[in-house]
Structure 1
C-alpha cells in the first residue's frame, strides 16, 4: 500500500469579494466566514472571486486570501471573474460586460491591456498572487507538492454551462470534460483538457476543482431544478477522485459521500443521449449517496465544517470507490456570506 500523509484541506468558493472581518461589528458575530479560518495544509478556492472582475475586486479577494493560514493556496476563476476570460471580454467589448465592468474601454488594444493586467495579477511570477503564495490554476491537470510531505494531483476548470451571458461559458449541448470516446452521442465535444479516467491514469486525480457542479449533485435551484452539467457528472464518474469541490450554485451548499458502483467506469463510458443520461443512465453508476450531517452551531464556533475522512476517522475515503462531493459556496442565494468553509482531513500520497 502506498504511503500517505494526513492532509487538511480548506475549501471555499463564491466569496464575491467578501472579507473575513466584515462581521466583527455584529453582536454577536453570527456568520461562520470570519477570521480566523482554520489553518490548513492546502486552501482551495473554486471560483467567483469577485462580482465582475475589476482590479479593485481582485485586490479585495487577495486581501482575504492573505489572511488564511495555508502554505499552499489554489485558486480558479468563475463566471463572475470576467476580465480573466479574454475571449469573453473581446466578444463583449461594445457592451462593456456585465454591469459595465470595463466602462470606458473603447478599443481592442485597451481591452487586451485590461485582460493582461488582470491575468498578470494572478499568473505572473512578480504578480501579487504568486508573491503572496497563491497559485492560479488554468484548466487542466496539475501535480502540486505540499509542505507537509504530500503531493496532490488536481484537475481544474473554471467553465460552466452558459447562463445569462457570463464568462467561461460553454453551450449546454457541448462536452468540455470527456474524451470523444466518452461523450454523450448527441453532444458536441469541445474538450481541450478532458478529465483523466481513474482506470487509465498512472496518477489518478485526487481532487477535482471546478467552478460548477455536476448534474444532480448539490446543484438544485428554485423549484428543485438541477442546474449542474451532465457531461461533468460523466467525467467525475470516470475519474472518481477523493474530493470533487465546486460552488456556483449558492443554494446547493453542502457535502455528500458518493459510493460508486462496481460498474461505474462502464456506465461512464457507455453510449447515451443527453436525455437518457440525465433521466436514468447515470444512476447505475452510483451505488449510494450519504448527505453529510452538519452541526451549524459548531461550524459557527469553529469557522468551518470539520470532516475527518482519513483512515483514522470514523469514515474514510476509498480511492476509486468513494468521492466526497462538496459545494463550498460561501455566499447564499441573497449574496450574504452565510455559509461555512469546509475543512476536510484526507490521506494524500506521500511524495
Structure 2
C-alpha cells in the first residue's frame, strides 16, 4: 500500500529484480491501493486510513475518531506505542502482528500512569476482563471432557457466523478495549476470526 516504501525495498535488493517479474507477482505500483480507493469501494463504505487522525460522522449520530498508523513493531510489540496508548486511554486499541496473541481484553487502567508505562505497572489486572483468546478455543491435553466440548461449541458458533464479538463497552477514560485482530494463524491453512466490535460513541455536536 505504501508505494515509496515498496519501491525502496525493491531498490535495496541485490541483485536487482526484473521489473516485469515484480509486476507479474505484485501488479503495477499503486494498483493494490486503487482497489480500496475505487468508487465502488467508497460506495460500499470502505475507507482507506492513511497515517494520522480521521473523524467520521456516522448515520446514527455518533462521532468516530480513529488514529491509524501503518508502522509495525516487530518481535514482541512496542514500548513507546503502549506508553502512548496508556496516556491517551482510548476506548479501543486495535492491532495485530503477534498472531498467536489473537484475542480481546477490556483493560482497566490504574488511576495514576507511571512515567514509563508498562503492562506490569499500569494495568489493573484484577479489574480487567478477558473476552477471548486462542487458548480459550483450542483444545489441550489438560482439558476435561466438558471443557473440550465447550471450546468446540464456541468454535462452531464462530465458524457459523464467520466472526466473533466484543460487545464489552469500556468506561471512557478508565478502560480500553484491546483487540488483537491478527487474521493469519501460525497453523497452516487456518485463518483466525475477525472481530465485530460494538462500543458506545460520543454524539456529533453540530455547529
TM-score (norm 2): 0.71
Q: Which residue of structure 2 lines up, in the alignment, with residue 285 of structure 1?
A: 122
Selected match of 2:195 from 336, 342, 347: 342
Q: Which has the higher strand share?
A: 1
**Structure 2 Cα separation of the partners of residues 304 and 330 of structure 1:** 11
Which residue of structure 1 aligns with residue 2 of structure 2?
85
| Coordinate RMSD, CA, aligned | 3.0
Partner residue of 1:122? 36
Aligned to 2:97: 248
- Shift in Å, 1:95: 6.0
Whether the 8 Å contact between 1:121 and 1:127 is mirrored in structure 2 is no
Please state whether the residue corresponding to 2:124 is helix, strand or coil.
strand
CA contact 1:96–1:102 (8 Å) conserved in 2: no
Check the 8 A contact 2:104/2:130 in 1, yes or no.
Answer: yes
Count of aligned pairs:
177
Q: Give 1 or 2: higher helix fraction.
A: 2
Distance change >3 Å, CA 101–CA 285, structure 1 → 2: farther
Q: Output the CA distance in 2 between the equivalents of 1:350 and 1:102.
A: 50
Equivalence for 2:110:
261
Residue 329 (1) aligns with residue 182 (2): yes
SS of the aligned residue for 1:154 comes to strand
1:134 to 46, 50, 61: 46
Cα gap change, 1:105 to 1:339, in 2 (>3 Å): closer
- Distance in 1 (alpha carbons) for counterparts of 2:10 and 2:102: 34
Q: Distance in 2 between matches of 1:256 and 1:105?
A: 40
Matching residue within 144, 147, 155 for 1:296: 155
Larger Rg: 2
Q: Is the 8 A contact 1:330 1:337 kept in 2?
A: no
Structure 1 residue 119: deviation in Å?
3.3
Shift of 1:254: 0.8
* 3-state SS in 1 of match to 2:192: coil
Cα distance, 1:248 vs structure 2: 1.7
Instruction: Give 1:305's match in structure 2, choosing from 140, 164, 176.
Output: 164
Can you give the 5+ residue segments of structure 2 that lack an aligned partner in the other structure? 137-153
Using the alignment, how far apart are the partners of 2:202 and 2:5 within structure 1? 38
With the length of structure 1 as denominator, give the TM-score of the two structures: 0.44
For residues 119 and 305 of structure 1, the distance between their equivalents in structure 2, rounded to whole angstroms, comes to: 27
Please tell me whether the aligned partners of residues 131 and 166 of structure 2 are also in contact (alpha carbons under 8 angstroms).
no
Which residue is 2:151 aligned to? none
Give the conservation status (yes or no) of the 8 Å contact 1:308–1:346. Answer: yes
Residues 260, 92 of structure 1: CA spacing in aligned structure 2 closer, same or farther, 3 A cutoff? Answer: same
Q: In structure 2, what is the Cα distance between the partners aligned to 1:234 and 1:149?
A: 31
Q: Which residue matches 1:143?
A: 55
Verify the 8 A CA contact 1:258 1:323 in the aligned structure 2. Answer: yes
Deviations 1:102-134 (A, max 9, x none): 65469xxxxxx93344434333xx555324431
After superposition, the C-alpha distances for 1:146-175 in whole angstroms (9 at most, x for unaligned) are: 2222121111111113x5xxxxxxxxxxxx
* C-alpha spacing 1:102/1:227, structure 2 compared with 1 (3 Å): farther
